[in-house]
Structure formats: C-alpha cells, structure tokens
Amino acid sequence: MLITTTNEKKMKQPLFLFVGIIITLTASSYSIATPKQSNQDEVKTALDLTPNIENGKKLYRNCALCHSPEGWGNPSGRFPQIAGQHQKVIIKQLADIRSKNRDNPTMYPFARSTYLKGPQAMADMAAYVSKLPMVPNNTVGSGDDLKKGKKIFDDNCTKCHGDKGEGHNDDYYPRIQGQHYEYLLRQMLWIKSGKRRNADKKMVKQIEGFSEADLAAVADYTSRLKPEKSLLADHKDWRNPDFRKNFRTAPQVQKELNDIK
Ligand code: HEC
Ligand code: HEC
C-alpha cells in the first residue's frame, strides 16, 4: 500500500499536467517509421532474465495513467485491458511498440527508455501485469450476430488463440477472451487494413477475407468468452491495493484540464 505524503500531494498536480500535455502532443509529433522487425534481441534478453515483481509494481505506476491501476483499460476500448495477458505477449508488444514495429503514438513516449529502461524493466513489468486479476465485466458488442461470430471464431481462430480465446504464452498468441469489444474490433480492422503491422501473416490473410460486419460479429463473440474464474477479480469494484485510492486516470486528468477555462 502506498502512503500519500504531503510532498507527493504537492507533486501530483504538475506530474499529471505534464502527462496530460504529453498525451495531447505526442500524436502530432510521432513519425511513422519504415516497417522494422520487432527487436527480437530485446525480447530474447528479457525472457532470459529473472523478473522482479516488486520493481514491476513500481514501474507500473506510469502505465496506470492510461491502463488504469487495475490494468483494466477503459470500457471504450481506447486503452486495452492488459491485466492477465501472457508475459511473453506483453514483452513482445512492448518491444514492438518501442521499435515502432507496432504504431502506438499515444503510448510511445512511455514505452521508451526513460520510463522503461530495458529488458529487465520489461520483464519486471510483464511479471506484474500478467498477475493482475482481470475485469469481470468487460464491454461486449450488441449481441445481434453471435451465431455467426461463433462460427467464424471456431473455424478460424482457435488454432492459435485457443477454444476460449485464452491464447498461448509460449507461442506469443495473445489472450483475447474478456477483452473490451471496441478494442478487439479496432485491432481486427487494423489487422485487415495492414495498419497493425506486427500482426501474424497467416492471421492477416484470414482476416483480410472477412467483411467489417463479420469482424464485428467475431469481436462480439470473443469479448463474451470468459477467462477462467481464477483469473478474474472477485467483483467489478475491486481496486488495486498497490495504488492510492485517489488515483486519477489520464482521461480523468484530461477532462479536468478541459474544464479549466
Ligand atoms: C498515454 C497512454 C498510455 C500509457 C501511459 C501506456 N499505454 Fe499501453 N497502450 C495505450 C494504448 C492507446 C494502447 C492500444 C493501442 C492500439 O490501439 O493499438 C496500448 C497498448 C498496450 C499494450 C498492448 C496490449 C495488447 O493487447 O496488445 C501493452 C502490453 C501495453 N499497452 C502496456 C503498457 C505498459 C507496460 C505501460 C507502461 C510502461 C503502458 N502501456 C503505458 C496507451 C498507453
Ligand atoms: C496463425 C495464428 C493465428 C490465427 C489463425 C489467428 N490469430 Fe489473431 N493473433 C495471432 C498473433 C501471433 C497475434 C499477435 C500478433 C502480434 O505480435 O502483434 C494475434 C493478435 C490478435 C489480436 C490482437 C490482440 C491484442 O491484444 O491486441 C486480435 C484481436 C486477434 N488476433 C484476433 C483474431 C481472430 C478474430 C482470429 C480468427 C478470425 C485470429 N486472430 C486468428 C495469431 C493468430
């Protein structure tokens, strides 16, 4: 449990202002690199290290601004849930984002060396985040086309993502069950259009063949696949005790900034 000291209280406002400004500015200053291979060496080195969860917890504070202290992202799917994701997947995604093999201008400054120094920090962070309990009431789609969604999923996606969308750590296949619908749909549309450059080539070939309505149906079905009970938080009001109660997320800070006349 972190204890709020007077000093921390004084520090809070400038820190959040700074973060708000970074979030507003990065999208315009981020240049798209030519496609690069993921930094495989960084992934390999991180995987060989022994993670220090305590350090991961400390570092996670910077990430909580957007992904929330619980790692649940937000219901609109603008920020994905990362709690409960496989460690290898987290490490690979961080390496891809750092090397601009996956475009993420919003998060890029936080994935760079200042906040995430290197493979040890990535390993520590992945160990901490993967153990956070997942959101029990993630957002789902309209429910209109679940039969179609199930058929597409069972025929095309289970080989890699598993029968229930649980993914597979060793093969870097992400857990996609219980993820917010809007995030899943956005990723599928970006995989189809080629915007998500680090996507698996076989998956891209498959997803290219589906219409947007098909992808909405399969995203809806996937968002409703429930992770094992042991991976979920007990209830939707669970709050991460590693963080202060009055923690505010980036969208909240942004709203407060907008409210200042
Ligand atoms: C300023 C907001 C912001 C901050 C801070 C931030 N992220 Fe993110 N993160 C995002 C956004 C937005 C996405 C999704 C981008 C997309 O739609 O492709 C994302 C995606 C991710 C993903 C990929 C999830 C997946 O399912 O593939 C991981 C892992 C991740 N973030 C981890 C972190 C970690 C660890 C930190 C702290 C070092 C962090 N993020 C800090 C905004 C942020
Ligand atoms: C051949 C294996 C394979 C198949 C088949 C496959 N995927 Fe994937 N999928 C992957 C891999 C690998 C990734 C992670 C790619 C990366 O490193 O960014 C991924 C990523 C994703 C993501 C992004 C997850 C995240 O957290 O950002 C979504 C959503 C997704 N797949 C949905 C699907 C759906 C729906 C299908 C079936 C229509 C499917 N995939 C079929 C291998 C596969």
Cβ contact 252:10 at 8 Å:
no
* Better-scored residue on pLDDT, 62 or 16: 62
Cα-to-centroid distance, 63 and ligand 2 (Å): 23
What ligand 1 atom has the least distance to the C-alpha of 60? Answer: 37
Query: 70-122, pLDDT tens digit by residue?
Result: 999 999 999 999 999 999 999 999 999 998 889 998 899 888 877 888 999 99
Q: Is the pLDDT of residue 11 over 90?
A: no
Pick from 104, 190, 223 the residue to mutate for probing ligand 1's pocket: most ligand atoms within 8 Å of its CB: 104
Give the number of other CB atoms < 10 A from CB of residue 156.
16
Tokens of 26: 């990065």
Q: For atom 23 of ligand 2, which residue has the closest CA? A: 187
pLDDT recorded at residue 135: 98
pLDDT recorded at residue 240: 93
pLDDT recorded at residue 261: 60
- The fraction of the chain above a pLDDT of 90, given in percent, is 66
Which contacts (CB < 8 Å, 24+ apart) does range 142-146 have?
A: 142/220, 143/220, 144/220, 145/213, 145/216, 145/217, 145/220, 146/217, 146/220, 146/221, 146/224
pLDDT recorded at residue 4: 39
Query: 78-87, pLDDT tens digit by residue?
Result: 999 999 999 9
Q: Stretch 192-218: mean pLDDT, rounded?
A: 94
Q: Is the pLDDT of residue 12 over 60?
A: no
What ligand 2 atom has the least distance to the C-alpha of 218? Answer: 35
pLDDT recorded at residue 5: 40
The whole-angstrom separation of Cα 225 and Cα 163 is: 9
pLDDT recorded at residue 14: 43
pLDDT recorded at residue 247: 66
Q: Is the pLDDT of residue 243 over 60?
A: yes
pLDDT recorded at residue 257: 75
pLDDT recorded at residue 29: 55
Tokens of 234: 């007990």
Query: 33-65, pLDDT tens digit by residue?
Result: 444 455 788 999 999 999 999 999 999 998 999
The whole-angstrom separation of Cα 259 and Cα 239 is: 26
Q: Stretch 207-221: mean pLDDT, rounded?
A: 97
Which contacts (CB < 8 Å, 24+ apart) does range 30-38 have?
A: 30/103, 30/105, 30/108, 32/100, 32/103, 33/100, 35/101, 35/197, 36/99, 36/100, 36/101, 37/99, 37/101, 38/92, 38/95, 38/96, 38/99, 38/101, 38/198
Q: Stretch 239-252: mean pLDDT, rounded?
A: 76
What ligand 2 atom has the least distance to the C-alpha of 175? Answer: 26
What average pLDDT is seen over the chain? 86
Cα-to-centroid distance, 156 and ligand 2 (Å): 10
- Could you give the angle at the alpha carbon of 188 between the alpha carbons of 186 and 192, nearest 5°? 115
Task: Name every protein residue with a CB atom under 6 angstroms from any ligand 2 atom.
Answer: 92, 152, 156-157, 159-161, 172-174, 176, 184, 187-188, 198-200, 202-203, 206-207, 218
* Better-scored residue on pLDDT, 113 or 180: 180
The whole-angstrom separation of Cα 208 and Cα 204 is: 6
Q: Is the pLDDT of residue 200 over 50?
A: yes
